[in-house]
Chains A and B, each alone.
Chain A
Amino acid sequence: MLHIYCPYCEEYREEEEFRPKGEAHIARPAEPEATSDEAWGDYLFFRKNPRGLHHEQWYHAAGCRKFFNATRDTVSYQILETYKAGQQPTVTAAARAAQAAGKGVAK
């Protein structure tokens, strides 16, 4: 059972109160008329589906009923952060790589 921190309720709640809603930060094509079939297909169907860090949307269905984002590891399922809709993640693959390089861990 996942224990999820809702950034709006500012509390940890049980997974059953929430619904996962897939990859976050996907922008709808700004000019629909000028968008190619490839770009529409990409927007609608193609996903990063990473094995590792995933930035994803969650919906607090049985709580405040707001959408927010989470960064979660798709192998361990550990949630590393949750943040409000419209905000950007701080835990990212790039940030981790930079941190590791800074410490001289990565060879």
Chain B
Amino acid sequence: MQHYSGFGLVKHGLSHHENWQRMWRNPVPKSQYDVIVVGGGGHGLATAYYLAKVHGITNVAVVEKGWLGGGNTARNTTIVRSNYLWDEAAWLYEHAMKLWEGLSQDLNYNVMFSQRGVMNLGHTLQDMRDIHRRVNANRLNGIDGEVLDVKQVQEIVPIMDCSPNTRYPVLGASWQPRAGVARHDAVAWGYARGADALGVDLLQQTEVTGFRISGGKVLGVETNRGYIGGKTIGVVTAGNSGVLAKMAGFRLPLESHPLQALVSEPMKPILDTVVMSNHVHGYVSQSDKGDLVIGAGIDGYNGYGQRGSYSTIEHTLQAIVELFPMFSRVRMNRQWGGIVDTCPDACPIISATPVGGLFFNCGWGTGGFKATPGSGHVFAATLAEGKAHPLAAPFSIDRFISGKLIDEHGAAGVAH
């Protein structure tokens, strides 16, 4: 792998940047792998990278039906935070946060992780009580967090309407200074490049159409490019996880919904943090390119169409304009949708399945980008050992039978 550095940039400048190495190979599938990862989004690519790097398992394929990182990874609004209420969730997301903090160095690839802070606004007395409770829980878990009053909120975000005259006045906020945003594509590409360099085969335009199963154990996957054998198979297909589960003969406690986002035309710097509100239901940040990145909740119906309803977008923009009246004159540039796999308790499923050798990592729903490094890290360990990593164990599918849910709904109504 070609090492990236400032010196290298100057050197390639001398040859007009015409001799950069390709970031990864485009290999022909082998007939048999030790591990097959289905789904080449951030989570799948991170899984493959840590399998090779931490566990020395390099006979690995990532099978992706489209192009790398073209699913929710490329469609998300990149908010990264770890201020979850319950211990199990907080530990998992904080594990990811610690990996984020060294990720660009580890991958030798700039993922543009920017710890600009995330603010979750409170608009009612109950919001503020929940914020106090969550921040206290976070601090007991060693996760940074503060409760801000409305004056402190206004100091950090002077352009927000914090007057008492709005329909839902801002009363305060929770504030996680270490939280922020990262460049979504760079995360997928950085992991892909790192995994490829360690010997992982990245198979694009390869769609899994079925599983070959014998005696209750998985043998491999059927694809549009033929059969590929794998001793262990990890499925990381986000919104399409239910479709893959059906191929393997079982159901999941998941429903797939459209989740939309939109960006404005680029502007001069105006907002240097991330503002989220569960109550009026919208969130906004400004990308390094200058566009406002705006999103909110899912469309209520099930859908696989990677687009949602205008009414959802309209409600989101109402909330944003209420909070930031000056944005009412900003023109929107693009709008899109991704398909998110929502789980009844708003927590992921990282689990063995009724089929031997077949594992699923899904259910991240509206908020899995932030977990990408941690999810890949614990799923790689789970696939390598054949049993759940301690941080992943509480997220087994069995919790929907035992009733031991990890209910994060109250903690994050707009869970990104």
Contacts and interface: CB of A to CB of B under 8 A. Distances in A.
Q: Do A and B bind each other?
A: yes
Interface stretch (A46-54, A80-88, A90-98): A46-54
Nearest to B401: A41
A77 B305 contact: yes
A54 B304 CA distance: 11
A47 B255 CA distance: 7
B301 A16 contact: no
B402 interface: yes
Contacts of B300: 19-20
Contacts of B251: 42, 46-49
A52 to B, nearest CB: 9
Given A41-B400, A41-B401, A46-B400, A75 B304 contact: yes
Interface in B52-105: none
A22 B255 contact: yes
Contacts of A75: 303-305
A19 B344 CA distance: 18
Interface string A1-41: 11000000000000110011011000000000000011011
B253 A74 contact: no
B136 interface: no
A82 B344 CA distance: 26
A49 B242 contact: yes
Contacts, number: 72
A16 B301 CA distance: 12
A43 to B, nearest CB: 11
Contact of B303 (A16, A38, A41, A77): A77
Contacts of B162: none
A54 B302 contact: yes
B400 A45 contact: yes
Nearest to B254: A49
Interface string B342-380: 001000000000000000000000000000000000000
A72 interface: yes
B220 to A, nearest CB: 22
Contacts of A49: 242, 251-252, 254-256, 302
Contacts of B401: 37-38, 40-41
A49 B251 CA distance: 9
Interface in B196-254: 240, 242-243, 246, 251-254
Interface string B392-411: 00000000111100000000
Nearest to B308: A77
Contacts of A50: 242, 246
Contacts of B242: 47-51
Interface in B251-277: 251-256
Nearest to B256: A49
A16 B311 contact: yes
Contacts of A72: 301
Contacts of A48: 242, 251
Nearest to B311: A16
Interface string B295-309: 000001111110001
B311 A56 contact: no
A51 B402 contact: no
B7 interface: no
Given A15-B309, A16-B311, A48-B251, A56 B402 contact: no
B94 to A, nearest CB: 27
B311 A15 contact: yes
Contact of A46 (B252, B302, B311): B252
Contacts of B255: 22-23, 47, 49
A74 B400 contact: no
A47 to B, nearest CB: 5
Contacts of A37: 401-403
A45 B253 CA distance: 5
Interface in A64-78: 72, 74-77
A67 B303 CA distance: 20
13 contacts: A2-B309, A22-B302, A41-B400, A41-B403, A46-B252, A47-B254, A48-B251, A49-B256, A49-B302, A50-B242, A74-B256, A75-B305, A77-B301
Given A51-B243, A72-B301, 6 more contacts: A46-B251, A46-B253, A47-B253, A49-B256, A75-B304, A77-B301
List 9 A-B pairs, minimum CB-CB distance, nearest first: A45-B253, A49-B242, A41-B401, A20-B301, A20-B300, A45-B400, A46-B251, A41-B400, A51-B304
